[in-house]
Structure formats: C-alpha cells, structure tokens
Amino acid sequence: NAGVTQTPKFRVLKTGQSMTLLCAQDMNHEYMYWYRQDPGMGLRLIHYSVGEGTTAKGEVPDGYNVSRLKKQNFLLGLESAAPSQTSVYFCASSYPDRRGNTEAFFGQGTRLTVV
C-alpha cells in the first residue's frame, strides 16, 4: 500500500520555466491538499480539493494552478517559476467525516529550487 506518492522528489528550475508536481493516493480519499513548507512559516495551504473535479484556493495560491481530473491524482502546476517558489512542497490526503477529525496522510515531499 503506497499511501501518498509525490513525483518528483527533487527539481531545479530556471526562472520562468514551468513544471507540474504530481500527487497520487491509493486510499480512495476525497480530500487532497498541496502545502509549501518554508523555514519559520510552517506549512501553508496552496490549493485543496474536496473531490474529483473540484479545486479551491488556499492561503497562498498565487503563481500556482491545480487540477483534480481523477480522484486519486492532484496536480500542482507552476506556469512561470519564480525564486520565491523555492520551497518544499507536500501533498496530503484525507477522508474526513462531517467533523473533519480524521487523519491526513502526507507524501514524502518535493524539494524545488528555482534559480
């Protein structure tokens, strides 16, 4: 059982380049999230999805786009990378009950450097 898998694990981009980060989960979870982790800032929510075909903005959505065409996949895109997007990106999924008190499972992270 793979859980949550992120691809790639590492990437270096030049300013202005584009890329897509893939998150795949095999737990049939409805909710999926993309976070970025920066020193002193904790985990900040970029975008999230409450089900197949739906996405919504989180706390820091600018410069990113997402798609959830299939329930098991949640893609994070950077159309024109900027150095400020250098970060570690984490994907998570969960299947919350009506009170939202179930566990979120995380991927191993993607370390992105924009030069």
DSSP state at residue 93: E
Between residues 54 and 113, which has the closer beta carbon with respect to another protein? 54
Does 64 interact with another protein (rule: CB under 8 A)?
no
Output the smallest distance, CB 16 to another protein, in A.
Answer: 30
Pairing status of strand 31-38 against strand 42-51: antiparallel
Task: Rule CB under 8 A: choose which of 20, 22, 52, 58 binds another protein.
Answer: 58
Say if CB 94 and CB 105 are below 8 A apart.
yes
For residue 98, give every residue at least 6 positions away whose Cβ sits within 8 Å of its Cβ, in sequence order, or none: none
Does 99 interact with another protein (rule: CB under 8 A)?
yes
Q: Is 20 exposed, middle or buried (0-12, 13-18, 19+ CB in 10 A)?
A: middle
For the segment 1-30, give every residue that binds another protein (CB under 8 A): none
Closest CA to 2 of 72, 51, 79: 72
Does 74 interact with another protein (rule: CB under 8 A)?
no
Contact residues for another protein (CB under 8 A)?
31, 33, 35, 40-45, 48, 50, 56, 58-59, 90, 92, 94, 96, 99-101, 103-104, 106-109
